[in-house]
Amino acid sequence: MAKAILPLTIAGGCLAVLSTTWLRAVNINVPSPYMDEIFHIPQAQRYCSSDFHTWDPKLTTPPGLYVLSLLLKVVTRAGCTGAELRSIGVVALATLLMLCYLLRKSLSGGAQRLDRVWENAHEALNVCLFPPLFFFSGLYYTDVVSTLVIVVAYFAFKQGAGGASVGGGLLAYGLGVMGLVMRQTNVFWVGVFLAGMEWVRTCTDMVEKGPGRGGRGKNVTLIERALGQYARGELHDPPLNEAGPLGKFTITDLRT
Structure confidence by residue, pLDDT tens digits, 232-250: 555 555 566 655 655 544 4
**What pTM did the predictor assign?**
0.71
pLDDT at 186 over 90: no
pLDDT tens digits, 48-103: 888 888 888 888 888 888 988 889 888 888 888 888 899 999 999 999 999 888 88
Percent of the chain with pLDDT over 70: 70
- Give the span between the Cα atoms of 177 and 190, in whole angstroms: 8
- Give the span between the Cα atoms of 77 and 73, in whole angstroms: 5
Average pLDDT of every residue of the chain: 76
Q: Which of 89-93, 125-129, 172-176 has the lowest mean pLDDT?
A: 172-176
pLDDT of residue 204: 67
- Structural domain spans, the chain: 1-141, 142-256
Distances (CA, A) of 48 to 42, 44, 140: 10, 6, 14
Please report which confidence band the pLDDT of residue 135 belongs to, taking 50, 70 and 90 as the band edges.
very high
- 252 DSSP assignment: H
The phi, psi pair for 79, rounded to 5°, reads -90, -170
Q: Which of 28-32, 99-103, 213-217, 229-233 has the lowest mean pLDDT?
A: 213-217
Please report which confidence band the pLDDT of residue 2 belongs to, taking 50, 70 and 90 as the band edges.
low
Q: Which of 60-74, 107-121, 160-174, 194-208 has the lowest mean pLDDT?
A: 160-174
